[in-house]
Structure 1
């Protein structure tokens, strides 16, 4: 007999209570989850909408910077000195090229492509996205572009891309004025980042490296534009959403006279030296030639290491701007200034005369300081001393003045400091005094040091630009300007003249002293080279020793190496009564100043003041 089935008694009230508790718990959880969901939706859609929208756009929209075109550079007469020329690059879009190696081999049959270029291309290709173009060959010629264009149908995925690069049509003629542009390096980038300017160079590969190109980089560069492109998740461009054009750099006009600059280089004729010409009415630099020079165009696309080493190791130092970086003993070119110092300090007067037997001695000292004219000049006054360049007169004058008074008088003429010219490549030269020697050499200043300074030798060095500035002050009878290259700027509507930086004038206690010195320089010019000139000029020549010569030894240029021969110098201005041009010339190791630098100075004045038929320009 089967056991009886056990009967289950249900507690409906308890089960109902349990169900209610479970249902309530579940419903509460659902409400909490919905609350959390709604809270997150609110945060995403309301509170953080802008943030996530921006992140989304950053992933979807790509901003591509567009480089501005660089401003052009002209001379004072509107001659183009620096321009932007199109350059052509052979580009490859890898994803559209079925067989890279075969394509490269076939391309070599159409245009010359070196093995190095192919190797560089293949190396870059390893780390390059296939849907982005990659450069294969730069600087294609017009002929190469034409040859490829005819055969382009054979090379899907290969095309020629055009751009603009700086070009200097006059090559080495203006290198030390214009400078050049080159690729932005780490040093440039650090400088731009420090000045918070790096964002303006996002699309630019080049920057001014020297000269005008560097000094006025902020004007010439312009401002970049940008394209807003929609891209997919792989970075491929879908469409262009917005375009903001770049603002081109400003065109600038220089004070340089191209014809006069060309004449300066012609007169230098490859010799080591420099010519500076200044307009004394405003301080504008009319010409600044430094020889030898070099072609700046080779730096624009990147100069090879071999070519750069060649320039760097060249004994003629073509990379140095001799006009502003060359430091030379000014020699007799500073004798007019020394005469001014003596007249101003009343150490001498116009009537003061000394006897020159061909030498001068410090009282109670046997050593003789020789005059260039071994038998002497006899009785000389300040006029004779300047005209005949009498060393003995200036030995005595320097002895009476003392080096500190000389330095104090010469400083306002611009010696021993930057001229303020608008390029960065400039040396200050050296205007010595007692404190300078004590600090520099930890030695006392000797009277003999002062005697050498009195004729522009010894520790005194100056750049040709400083000499030109000082003679400009004489020509202007004390009026001073900062030498400069910038003449005007070209904006969208008009040409704006650059302000002229005028310094406080030098005022002498006796203004007649200016006339004394200028008259002596005029008589020097008439005696030397300007006897039959249709205009009146003033000049002073100088011959600077490069090495010391023993007291009883005679200087013989033929017996010493060329690099130890004297430097030739000349300073001049014209017309005397209304100066329009000041010239300073230095020829390294050329010998006598009047015979070598003098013709260069006269050639510059003739070119600027005379017509081709020899008549005066109006």
Structure 2
């Protein structure tokens, strides 16, 4: 038999149901409380924070690169300027298949192999979210084609960019320099100096020359647009703007026409020339030949072109005025003469007999004069005018290398001049202490002999020679040379003179100075080594020729240029100032493998001084002649 089912306890079940209902209601109330608390926290407590977040998602700060300052010559002629052009830019992070995209772009507009090589190099140096230029200076037709196809080319856009143009070309490349794209090393320097924010939106920075030295002044201050954007990140409208401040314009002491005259005067020769105002230190002309086209570097130079420049035997990338180091040769003699007078080792009237050679005591080795048979009786003035080697061999031995070093150092030899360009070489002014430190060797008497005529270990730059020559011209003031003279404020448009260069004065006995100056004037008069180069000048020139050996010559042998390859022939030098009575220009010229200062370097200096002092432009120049040579 089946047992009957027990009767349900309705009261107990109802009580259980009410308990569950209360628990559920409590749980719902708890959740509602949590939600309300969270809403209160978000809406009230964190209102300011999330309002700012929402606003930042809606508003973007777009940097505006400032216009770079112009670089002008002393007469206001433009050397470096800006112009606007369209550029095809690629953002790698927005592209799924870069190679396919490049192929597609190549079907629309012409992309050359050189542009692709440059793009890939810049791409390797850039971050993923940075835009990299693929092609610059687009035509209107190319802009229209790319705009019409933009919808199917994500990561590709056309931007208006400012470009730098160097009107003066290769002749001013070592002075003005060039700008280039900012790389990792530049970014590191900007971060360390706290200037990184000022380069947001900008892609270029000064790399060499004045563009680098005066980067802070030329760059200006970056501005910002506060842009409202839609959900797709597209700009809707400009809410506010902080306008960029253009960079300051830079005016130089340098005269572009004088620079062109100097460059033309070199003809096919290589070398360097620098002309200074001995009273201000202003650089009137600075030529390093050969030069290069700085426009090649503005938006990234093609690797093939860079290799050809960097590996050229003519070394166009080397600034020979600042970084070229050469034996000063006989251009050292006026400074040696001044040392002899100031140290009390010689008087102007003291004379020697020059037989054409010099020997040290207890030695049979002959140190020859450049003139076979010698110069006869020679005093200080004649020793400079005819560049008598034997006079300075003897003086050097009497002086000793250490006193020679200490006195010549006061003319800036063996030291950087302080010019407002980077990369200057200090050259080398030897001493006993230097040789011991460098080679762990003693100094030999024969090394002192040849140091007296600017040979041996002594190395100098054309700029150092120009600074030293200016000191003789201005009575002993050593002035740091300067290219930049003034800066123009972009807002007020007024010119402000830049801080004056540092000056130091070397105390020189006026009579000793007059004696050396007399000898340098005699160099350009009949009987002097540069008389032919100075013939017909309507002003008085004081100068000194020099020849610097490139290869050694055996004892008893004679220099024979015809038997040497041109690259092994002597360098030619000439230093000068004019007018001798009241100098306004001091100049140093170095002609690589030019053989004789009188016949190659001096005519170049004459052409520059003629134009500067009289406005006369040289005709077709023939370097060479029948001067007494050195």
Superposition TM-score, scaled by structure 2 size: 0.86
Following TM superposition, by how much is the alpha carbon of 1:8 offset from its aligned partner in structure 2, in angstroms? 6.4
Which residue pairs with 2:521 in the alignment? 522
Q: In structure 2, how many angstroms separate the alpha carbons of the residues matched to 1:356 and 1:506?
A: 32
Following TM superposition, by how much is the alpha carbon of 1:135 offset from its aligned partner in structure 2, in angstroms? 6.5
Offset from partner CA, 1:200-228 (integer Å, 9 cap, x none): 21211111110000111111111111122
Which residue pairs with 1:52 in the alignment? 50
Following TM superposition, by how much is the alpha carbon of 1:61 offset from its aligned partner in structure 2, in angstroms? 2.0
Taking a change above 3 Å as real, the CA distance of residues 149 and 367 of structure 1, as seen in their structure-2 partners, is closer
Following TM superposition, by how much is the alpha carbon of 1:148 offset from its aligned partner in structure 2, in angstroms? 5.0
Taking a change above 3 Å as real, the CA distance of residues 356 and 136 of structure 1, as seen in their structure-2 partners, is closer
Aligned partner of 1:425 among 423, 442, 451:
423
1:557 and 2:561 aligned: yes
Which residue pairs with 2:355 in the alignment? 357
Aligned partner of 1:262 among 253, 260, 263:
260
Aligned partner of 2:581 among 577, 580, 584:
577
Q: In structure 1, how many angstroms separate the alpha carbons of the residues matched to 2:313 and 2:572?
A: 19
Q: In structure 2, how many angstroms separate the alpha carbons of the residues matched to 1:89 and 1:333?
A: 52
Q: In structure 2, how many angstroms separate the alpha carbons of the residues matched to 1:80 and 1:515?
A: 41
1:367 and 2:369 aligned: no
1:68 and 2:66 aligned: yes
Aligned partner of 2:167 among 159, 166, 169:
169
Following TM superposition, by how much is the alpha carbon of 1:423 offset from its aligned partner in structure 2, in angstroms? 0.7
CA contact (8 A) 2:80 2:164 kept: yes
Q: In structure 1, how many angstroms separate the alpha carbons of the residues matched to 2:606 and 2:238?
A: 63
Q: CA RMSD in A?
A: 3.5
1:533 and 2:537 aligned: yes
Taking a change above 3 Å as real, the CA distance of residues 333 and 188 of structure 1, as seen in their structure-2 partners, is same
1:607 and 2:611 aligned: yes
Taking a change above 3 Å as real, the CA distance of residues 4 and 500 of structure 1, as seen in their structure-2 partners, is closer
Q: In structure 2, how many angstroms separate the alpha carbons of the residues matched to 1:120 and 1:461?
A: 39
Taking a change above 3 Å as real, the CA distance of residues 46 and 366 of structure 1, as seen in their structure-2 partners, is farther
Q: Which moved more, 1:529-538 or 1:73-82?
A: 529-538
SS at match of 1:406: helix
Taking a change above 3 Å as real, the CA distance of residues 372 and 116 of structure 1, as seen in their structure-2 partners, is closer
Aligned partner of 2:212 among 207, 211, 214:
214
CA contact (8 A) 1:270 1:292 kept: no
Which residue pairs with 2:289 in the alignment? 291
SS at match of 2:505: coil
Following TM superposition, by how much is the alpha carbon of 1:580 offset from its aligned partner in structure 2, in angstroms? 0.6
CA contact (8 A) 1:270 1:291 kept: no
Following TM superposition, by how much is the alpha carbon of 1:502 offset from its aligned partner in structure 2, in angstroms? 3.1
Q: In structure 2, how many angstroms separate the alpha carbons of the residues matched to 1:105 and 1:313?
A: 32
CA contact (8 A) 1:78 1:253 kept: yes
Which residue pairs with 2:602 in the alignment? 598
Following TM superposition, by how much is the alpha carbon of 1:51 offset from its aligned partner in structure 2, in angstroms? 3.4
Q: Which moved more, 1:113-122 or 1:597-606?
A: 113-122
Taking a change above 3 Å as real, the CA distance of residues 356 and 103 of structure 1, as seen in their structure-2 partners, is closer
Q: In structure 1, how many angstroms separate the alpha carbons of the residues matched to 2:87 and 2:263?
A: 35
SS at match of 2:233: coil
CA contact (8 A) 2:108 2:145 kept: no
Which residue pairs with 1:457 in the alignment? 455
Following TM superposition, by how much is the alpha carbon of 1:239 offset from its aligned partner in structure 2, in angstroms? 3.2
CA contact (8 A) 2:414 2:460 kept: yes
Q: In structure 2, how many angstroms separate the alpha carbons of the residues matched to 1:7 and 1:262?
A: 118
Following TM superposition, by how much is the alpha carbon of 1:86 offset from its aligned partner in structure 2, in angstroms? 2.3
Following TM superposition, by how much is the alpha carbon of 1:557 offset from its aligned partner in structure 2, in angstroms? 0.7
1:193 and 2:191 aligned: yes
Following TM superposition, by how much is the alpha carbon of 1:42 offset from its aligned partner in structure 2, in angstroms? 5.1
Following TM superposition, by how much is the alpha carbon of 1:346 offset from its aligned partner in structure 2, in angstroms? 0.1
Which residue pairs with 2:552 in the alignment? 548
SS at match of 1:276: strand
CA contact (8 A) 1:103 1:155 kept: no
Following TM superposition, by how much is the alpha carbon of 1:507 offset from its aligned partner in structure 2, in angstroms? 0.5
SS at match of 1:325: coil
Which residue pairs with 2:501 in the alignment? 501
Taking a change above 3 Å as real, the CA distance of residues 121 and 341 of structure 1, as seen in their structure-2 partners, is closer
Following TM superposition, by how much is the alpha carbon of 1:243 offset from its aligned partner in structure 2, in angstroms? 2.2
Superposition TM-score, scaled by structure 1 size: 0.87
Q: In structure 2, how many angstroms separate the alpha carbons of the residues matched to 1:133 and 1:251?
A: 29
Q: In structure 2, how many angstroms separate the alpha carbons of the residues matched to 1:397 and 1:89?
A: 66
Q: In structure 1, how many angstroms separate the alpha carbons of the residues matched to 2:421 and 2:132?
A: 37
Taking a change above 3 Å as real, the CA distance of residues 334 and 7 of structure 1, as seen in their structure-2 partners, is closer
Offset from partner CA, 1:360-386 (integer Å, 9 cap, x none): 111122211111112111221111111
Q: In structure 2, how many angstroms separate the alpha carbons of the residues matched to 1:540 and 1:119?
A: 50
Q: In structure 1, how many angstroms separate the alpha carbons of the residues matched to 2:581 and 2:241?
A: 60
Offset from partner CA, 1:389-411 (integer Å, 9 cap, x none): 11111111111111111111111
Taking a change above 3 Å as real, the CA distance of residues 120 and 600 of structure 1, as seen in their structure-2 partners, is closer
Q: Which moved more, 1:48-57 or 1:590-599?
A: 48-57
1:204 and 2:208 aligned: no
Following TM superposition, by how much is the alpha carbon of 1:27 offset from its aligned partner in structure 2, in angstroms? 8.5
Taking a change above 3 Å as real, the CA distance of residues 229 and 514 of structure 1, as seen in their structure-2 partners, is same
Q: Which moved more, 1:327-336 or 1:54-63?
A: 54-63
Aligned partner of 2:397 among 387, 399, 404:
399
Residues matched between the structures, number:
593
Which residue pairs with 1:129 in the alignment? none
Following TM superposition, by how much is the alpha carbon of 1:48 offset from its aligned partner in structure 2, in angstroms? 3.8
Q: In structure 1, how many angstroms separate the alpha carbons of the residues matched to 2:102 and 2:390?
A: 81
Following TM superposition, by how much is the alpha carbon of 1:600 offset from its aligned partner in structure 2, in angstroms? 0.6
Taking a change above 3 Å as real, the CA distance of residues 46 and 476 of structure 1, as seen in their structure-2 partners, is farther
Offset from partner CA, 1:71-107 (integer Å, 9 cap, x none): 1100010000000122233579999xxx989985874
Q: In structure 1, how many angstroms separate the alpha carbons of the residues matched to 2:116 and 2:591?
A: 48
Q: In structure 2, how many angstroms separate the alpha carbons of the residues matched to 1:565 and 1:133?
A: 51
Q: In structure 2, how many angstroms separate the alpha carbons of the residues matched to 1:119 and 1:560?
A: 42
Q: Name structure 2 gaps, 5 residues minimum.
A: 124-129, 619-630
Taking a change above 3 Å as real, the CA distance of residues 206 and 580 of structure 1, as seen in their structure-2 partners, is same
Taking a change above 3 Å as real, the CA distance of residues 321 and 35 of structure 1, as seen in their structure-2 partners, is same
1:513 and 2:517 aligned: no
SS at match of 2:602: helix
SS at match of 2:238: strand
Following TM superposition, by how much is the alpha carbon of 1:65 offset from its aligned partner in structure 2, in angstroms? 1.1
Taking a change above 3 Å as real, the CA distance of residues 179 and 31 of structure 1, as seen in their structure-2 partners, is same
SS at match of 2:525: helix
SS at match of 2:291: coil
